[in-house]
Amino acid sequence: MFQEPEFSLKRDIALTVAVEAAGFKITNSKSIPTEDGYAWHATLVHGLTKIVTVSNGGTGGEDHSDFHATTDVAKAADKIRLQELFAIPEVTAVLRDHLLYNLNLSQQFNKVSESDYFASKDQIAGSTPVPSVDNVEYLVGYLATAFKLANELKRALKTKLVFVRKGQDATGEYGWYVKPDTAANRATAQGKQSGTIDYFVADLFATAKEGMV
């Protein structure tokens, strides 16, 4: 049985940083647990332009997408925006992992021949994923989850020294001390944690102050 790509807090934060740097963001994001999963919706925005809202009623059905452009000119502009988003290396990596997972499932259930499998695998590895409806829906859902975590960490960083212990990047667990982020406090934290701290979360957002004392 093939598993979804392993979670990495560091990778997901790097993803949100890269996406924001390119002018994209997720808005109107909300998720509510149901008996069959989660009911959720989120909107992908570039600058002030809403591109697409993706939603799921939480009844075990497929995602649904509403593209906001209504004219041919606007649709063409949004297509270019999506191509630019998909070309961001961190975005490309997430989508390639997803596509490869789906391809492996198809092979497992004999839905693709061996020759087609290897050809598709090479294509996934060697090209930028296209902004198909399925890929867009998956990415918006993934980004909604990643930005929720990133915003949670940003709030914590305002008042805390936040860190991830070795081996916990894949679990998303993190710890903190209610202390300013300084070199001295980092050293103290490493001592208290017996040298088990893998990294400080502020560094993932490039918010660590220069010349810390």
Cα 127 to chain center, whole Å? 20
pLDDT for 159 = 95
Nearest CA among 197, 203, 196, 148 for reference residue 181: 203
Of 94, 131, 130, 74, residue with least CA distance to 19: 94
Give the pLDDT confidence score for residue 105 in this predicted structure: 85
- State residue 209's pLDDT score: 43
Q: Among positive and negative, which fits the CA dihedral 169, 186, 18, 67?
A: positive
- Report CA torsion sign: 192, 193, 195, 197: negative
165 in the Ramachandran plot: left (φ > 0), alpha (ψ -120 to 50) or beta?
beta
Stretches in the chain below the pLDDT threshold 70:
1-4, 207-213
pLDDT tens track for 171-194 = 999 999 999 999 999 999 999 999
54 three-class SS: strand
What pLDDT shows up at residue 140?
98
pLDDT at position 168 is 96
- pLDDT for res 3: 61
DSSP 36-48: TEEEEEEEEEETT
pLDDT score recorded for residue 1: 45
